[in-house]
Chain A
């Protein structure tokens, strides 16, 4: 064991990691935001739709859940532009992929939350004369949100970590930054130690923030 840790080279290139982390967060936030819209719309549609629509939405969810994200990333970035006449940058391509990917997971979270809203609350909404749309906005969604918050937090953290896969199409996010430093300095242990610490710290911060939101909602239960 003659390996001596030396972090100097890591600090010299730390901007690669820091900039990478910021890009990772940006990719995650945009993709999750789009995924939330996809998830909400499809979940609400699912619970009120007929068999055909349900089957189509279920197929989308099953497809995404059973194909590795890395394959989807390759497909969208390398495959899609060769079939259709489209040109997009690697980050755009990845955001597109992760949005559709997170949408599928969020449909499941929101759908189960919507179905878990007690029937009695919906009856109460009907009984005071709320229209279906008003029942959705003022009764069903607020209750669904507090039911799904813990599962949502886990999904968000997981999706944030999934941004590391963007490195395979050279999106300069955190993992890509780590690889770059590794290739250029060969300080493999140091760079991945620092990178791991950065993922960990960010993940914990996110989790902590989301738990605060949860607690606020639970207190308001």
Chain B
């Protein structure tokens, strides 16, 4: 892994381990992500991809290791005593990362614009008017300017997920975490969501994305991380990782199974 001394990583995951009872879900995972990078995490289900992502904004805690964003420990207090941050501090830390979920998780009682405005007004302290214009700007970016006042239930899955993305990026997070954001979508709706992610990548948004969209991982990411059994099994530029198939048996098995089911 590249040294981060001269160019400190925006996201620095160092030797993070976590287990649920006797089951080890993360085994000393380390990963650095530089500003502007798009890192995709692939791997079989149960390999710890989603858990790792949820540790980054501390939706899940972990047993050892550290996760820093911009040099600041996310879930634990500075000073190394592994004291969990107060809920208020955690909330402030989480506001620095954005997250998009597999199941969209829009607030059902709020309109598309309302979903985006909630964080802007309550967390960022913006006025309703300002929040509304920011919401409209981002809804325009994801092609939903005309749906600002629609409720989530009135939107298709692809539209809901685009609102989910807009809700996350409107907060101007340092990093965007995307957790299998197309897995719950009908195949014909995947494209519109990935197009939005692609345009964010072009803007230089730093992203960590768990995905099963192999073509997208290959074409749109700076690096691919292949996880297996709770550890990083291969990491590097897409073509290197995909080429590592010849030497990495787990990767070979994964890709073979993947090809069998998707092509």
Q: Do A and B come from one complex?
A: yes
Contacts of A125 in B (CB 8 A): 107
Interface centre among A128, A129, A220, A221 (most CB of B within 10 A): A128
Distance of B180 from chain A, by nearest CB (Å): 13
Q: CB-defined interface of B95-108 with A at 8 Å, one 1/0 digit per residue?
A: 11111010111111
| CB–CB A129/B119 < 8 A | yes
Distance of A131 from chain B, by nearest CB (Å): 5
| CB–CB A128/B153 < 8 A | no
Contacts of B209 in A (CB 8 A): none
Q: For the complex, is A34 an interface residue (Cβ under 8 Å from B)?
A: no
Contacts of B94 in A (CB 8 A): 126-129
| CB–CB B91/A130 < 8 A | yes
A-B contact number at CB 8 A: 80
Q: For the complex, is B168 an interface residue (Cβ under 8 Å from A)?
A: yes
| CB–CB A146/B109 < 8 A | yes
The residue on B at minimum CB distance from A219 is B151
Distance of A90 from chain B, by nearest CB (Å): 42
Q: For the complex, is B262 an interface residue (Cβ under 8 Å from A)?
A: no
Q: For the complex, is B57 an interface residue (Cβ under 8 Å from A)?
A: yes
Q: For the complex, is A170 an interface residue (Cβ under 8 Å from B)?
A: no
Q: By the criterion of a CB under 8 Å from any partner CB, how many residues of chain A are at the interface?
A: 21
A127/B107 contact (C-beta < 8 A), A138-B118, A221-B151, A221-B153 known: no
Q: CB-defined interface of A87-109 with B at 8 Å, one 1/0 digit per residue?
A: 00000000000000000000000
| CB–CB A126/B118 < 8 A | no
Q: CB-defined interface of B43-70 with A at 8 Å, one 1/0 digit per residue?
A: 0000000000000010100000000000
| CB–CB B151/A128 < 8 A | no
Q: Which of B144-163 contact A (CB under 8 A)?
A: 151, 153
The residue on B at minimum CB distance from A134 is B122
Q: Which of A112-152 contact B (CB under 8 A)?
A: 118, 120-121, 123-132, 134, 138-139, 142-143, 146
Distance of A124 from chain B, by nearest CB (Å): 4
The residue on A at minimum CB distance from B124 is A129
Contacts of A130 in B (CB 8 A): 91, 118-119, 122-123
| CB–CB A128/B92 < 8 A | no
Q: For the complex, is B167 an interface residue (Cβ under 8 Å from A)?
A: yes
Instruction: Out of B108, B123, B153, name the residue touching A129 (CB < 8 Å).
Output: B123
A131→B123 CA distance, assembly (Å) = 8
A120→B160 CA distance, assembly (Å) = 14
A146→B171 CA distance, assembly (Å) = 28
| CB–CB A131/B87 < 8 A | yes
| CB–CB A118/B105 < 8 A | yes
Distance of B169 from chain A, by nearest CB (Å): 11
A118→B105 CA distance, assembly (Å) = 8
Distance of B196 from chain A, by nearest CB (Å): 18
Distance of A125 from chain B, by nearest CB (Å): 8
| CB–CB A126/B59 < 8 A | yes
The residue on A at minimum CB distance from B98 is A127
A129→B90 CA distance, assembly (Å) = 8
| CB–CB A124/B107 < 8 A | yes
Instruction: Out of B59, B103, B122, name the residue touching A138 (CB < 8 Å).
Output: B122
Contacts of B259 in A (CB 8 A): none
A220→B107 CA distance, assembly (Å) = 11
The residue on A at minimum CB distance from B170 is A128
Contacts of B104 in A (CB 8 A): 120
| CB–CB B168/A127 < 8 A | yes
Contacts of A120 in B (CB 8 A): 101, 103-105
Contacts of B119 in A (CB 8 A): 128-130
A126→B96 CA distance, assembly (Å) = 11
Can you pick out 15 interface pairs between chain A and chain B where the beta carbons lie within 8 Å of each other? A120-B103, A124-B106, A124-B167, A126-B57, A127-B94, A127-B168, A129-B119, A130-B91, A130-B119, A130-B123, A132-B91, A134-B123, A146-B109, A220-B109, A220-B151
- Top 4 nearest A-B pairs by Cβ distance? A129-B95, A128-B119, A120-B105, A124-B105
> What would 8 more interface pairs be, CB under 8 Å, given A120-B101, A128-B123?
A121-B108, A124-B99, A128-B119, A129-B119, A129-B171, A142-B109, A143-B108, A146-B109
